[in-house]
């Protein structure tokens, strides 16, 4: 499906190994366009759902990036690493996990639900003075990252096979699951790191509907998985435009509309996405015009 025919979102199931950028590069070659971006990086050792925005849909990425994410993950108790995952150097070990019960582990996970301040990993893409923190950390420099508010909606123990803890988490965008593993180890007093991570959902988009990167060359598979812009943004409130109103919005003009206030809303003419904007005091203000 070439970008000249349509624009939309392709859900891809990234395997362990390649970077998110590797998947984007493959999609650019397969789909014949440079205009492809994703809506949330996965580390190379992680797998799961990437939403690739194709063509003009790259302008919609910001409205998908902020969606809640769901993951299944495995933490290993008793071993802490400098990167908080299996890729790092071991910084401490403990055998105290042998005395832990399933109940203690479950309660330690439950204690991390809700809103809290989370300190990002030193080895992360968070920038300090315009430079990713992981670069400074690899040079041996001191890295201090300010904690930020994250929200953990769901955090459930799926299996406890000591020292491995398999859990599922649904959290706000920007939450570091490896930091949840780190904090689990700290709460239990044994240390821990993340050994496996799989993203299963972004908002209501699920990995079961995604295709592997190898299927990007298959236009039929891409077409079957394709998410049109209206469906991609159906988590946002929508307003309906008459033809004359749609014509004004396409020119970037505001229009009066009978709709509830919304910081972000999609404007439709029939089944076509015309614009993304805001509604206030009975006026729709286009922010991005997608339909020429």
Buried b / exposed e over 249-260, threshold 16 CB at 10 Å, is bbeeeebebebe
Quote the CA–CA distance of 100 and 94 in Å, as a whole number. Answer: 12
| Token pair of 273 as six digits | 């996405």
Q: Which residues pair with 73 in a beta bridge?
A: 167, 197
Length of the chain as a residue count = 292
38 neighbors 54 (Cβ within 8 angstroms): no
56 neighbors 78 (Cβ within 8 angstroms): no
DSSP 47-86: EEEEEEEEGGGGGGHHHHHTS-EEEEEEEEETEEETTSBT
The contacts of residue 174 (CB under 8 Å, 6+ apart) are 148, 150
Which residue is catalytic, options 13, 43, 85, 183?
43
Q: Which residues pair with 47 in a beta bridge?
A: 198
List strand residue ranges (DSSP E) for the chain, in order. 8-14, 36-38, 47-54, 69-77, 79-81, 90-93, 114-118, 127-128, 131-132, 148-161, 164-171, 192-202, 205-206, 238-240, 255-256, 262-269, 272-280, 283-289
144 neighbors 163 (Cβ within 8 angstroms): no
Q: Which residues pair with 168 in a beta bridge?
A: 72, 156
Closest CA to 214 of 222, 206, 205: 222
Is 22 annotated as catalytic?
Answer: no
Which residues carry out catalysis?
43
């Amino acid at each position: 499906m070439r970008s000249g025919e349509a624009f939309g979102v392709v859900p891809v199931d990234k395997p362990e190994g390649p970077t998110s950028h590797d998947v984007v590069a493959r999609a650019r070659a397969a789909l014949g366009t440079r205009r492809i971006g994703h809506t949330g990086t996965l580390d190379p050792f992680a797998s799961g759902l990437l939403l690739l925005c194709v063509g003009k849909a790259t302008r919609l990425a910001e409205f998908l990036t902020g969606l809640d994410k769901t993951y299944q993950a495995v933490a290993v108790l008793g071993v802490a690493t400098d990167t908080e995952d299996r890729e790092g150097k071991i910084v401490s070990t403990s055998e105290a996990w042998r005395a832990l019960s399933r109940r203690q582990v479950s309660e330690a996970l439950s204690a991390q639900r809700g809103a809290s301040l989370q300190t990002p990993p030193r080895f992360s893409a968070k920038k300090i003075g315009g430079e990713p923190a992981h670069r400074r950390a690899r040079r041996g420099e001191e890295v201090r990252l300010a904690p930020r508010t994250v929200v953990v909606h769901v955090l459930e123990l799926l299996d406890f096979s000591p020292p491995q803890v398999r859990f599922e988490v649904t959290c706000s965008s920007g939450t570091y699951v490896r930091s949840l593993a780190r904090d689990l180890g700290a709460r239990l007093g044994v240390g821990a790191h993340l050994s496996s991570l799989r993203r299963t959902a972004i908002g209501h988009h699920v990995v079961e509907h995604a295709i592997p990167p190898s299927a990007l060359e298959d236009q039929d598979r891409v077409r079957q998985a394709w998410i049109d812009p209206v469906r991609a943004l159906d988590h946002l409130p929508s307003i309906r435009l008459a033809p004359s109103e749609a014509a004004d919005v396409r020119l970037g003009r505001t229009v009066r509309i009978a709709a509830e206030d919304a910081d972000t809303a999609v404007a439709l003419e029939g089944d076509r996405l015309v614009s993304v904007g805001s509604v206030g005091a009975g006026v729709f203000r286009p922010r991005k015009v997608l339909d020429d």
